[in-house]
Chain A
């Protein structure tokens, strides 16, 4: 099989998984407990790394942008500059990448070892659909928690930027906040929420698919884990471009 047809087969499998997952939502039993447990481990568990990522990203944005802004005498729009980059792009994307690394790998490793130790077969033999029992709760948990994590990353990023602006470049805190508020539009916020929802689906489906199609023993688990992280990260970055384009089409290209 050449790589194009392999890609298409994979895409088809993922679409089927998506379809089965959606059908799983419609039918009993719905495994709410499992969903809550996953939200806890994905959401609460990732909060620290995501906040830290957000904080330092916001900080470095100001660190790099401020001298340029100062050169053009535009220090007062420092807040705006961080806000837009962070909320539109870096918040959702970096957050998704962190979660892909932390949660995507965990999901595919867990499902992969279940395949290898025949637990998935046992589950099917006992009359449960793995798509409904394992995939649906994980994907839903990601779709719900990723936007929340993104908001956390954004907020910590803005705080980080503010701290650097205030203490490193002695920018007045009020100026920073005023420019923040002027810079953030409702469109940015909606876009900044839509993106992580899509990324949640991408990470969840790819990781579950990779885990469930693990082949070849423990070595296979390692491979599918790596594949899950690499493939979901790349897909997130590619999807981000197209999503940005689509959102621009919807909301118009709001200028700085």
Chain B
């Protein structure tokens, strides 16, 4: 249902050697509880990093650190090669323009309509109304919610809210997108649609992203399928099969403030760590 839409705006081009996101020995504690205990990882440009981890393991916290919504106690966080650890609110605001964020709970502005929610970022930037309208409708079509354009968030179901949240995050074509459990609590076809969206962003737009999830089928979709466009602009999804050609998707697993795994999905399946094994098989 989303085949016809592809995004055409150019993205900011920065040298591909600079990682999109880099964490160096980042530590964070709430009161006395250590949440992140010196973690290191990088998300390369154009790469999708799937983040796994039990409830409360600190996944959302990592995402909030990237946006500067929380401050690390120690360590360095680089976004597009820029150190944001000590950036002030104004520098952070500039940095956030490059990033789209899909919140775990949606976090829609409940005093604004769906249209105004999606238009928010563009309206704040003072872009003129016609252009905003065009972009908002395009984004809502992208998440298949054109009909809900005049609704208030309170009138939407959980899955619809999540998709409006996605549309809001993707408006303005950010070069980086952070998904915090975007498929939790959704029916399998909708969840699949959201994964396809992430795949399209990765393969057709070159967007770097972090995709937090608990669900193993999300992991399977993202790490084994890729999107291609045919001559008429239609998008298809293909299985990588035995070719193992998907090199821009990595998996990372967090447990009690530490990264216990960071690599490809094939390596994850071969891991003999009992915790990882239980996590991916459920037993």
Contacts and interface: CB of A to CB of B under 8 A. Distances in A.
Interface of A: 28-29, 117-119, 121-129
A28 B89 CA distance: 16
B40 to A, nearest CB: 24
B93 A129 contact: yes
Nearest to A130: B89
A119 B124 contact: no
A128 B105 contact: no
Interface stretch (B48-56, B79-87, B94-102): B94-102
Contacts of B99: 125
A94 to B, nearest CB: 31
Interface of B: 64, 67-69, 89, 92-94, 96-97, 99, 101, 103-105, 107-110, 120-121, 124-126, 168
Contacts of A124: 67-69, 92-93, 96
Nearest to B64: A121
A125 B124 contact: no
Contacts, number: 54
Given A29-B126, A117-B107, A128-B124, A122 B97 contact: no
B109 A127 contact: no
B103 A121 contact: yes
A195 B200 CA distance: 60
A175 B103 CA distance: 68
A121 B69 contact: yes
B35 to A, nearest CB: 16
Given A127-B93, A129-B89, A122 B124 contact: no
Given A117-B107, A119-B109, A119-B110, A125 B97 contact: no
B69 A126 contact: no
A129 B96 CA distance: 12
Given A117-B105, A117-B110, A125 B126 contact: no
B107 A127 contact: no
A124 B124 CA distance: 12
Nearest to B178: A125
Contacts of B109: 119, 122-123
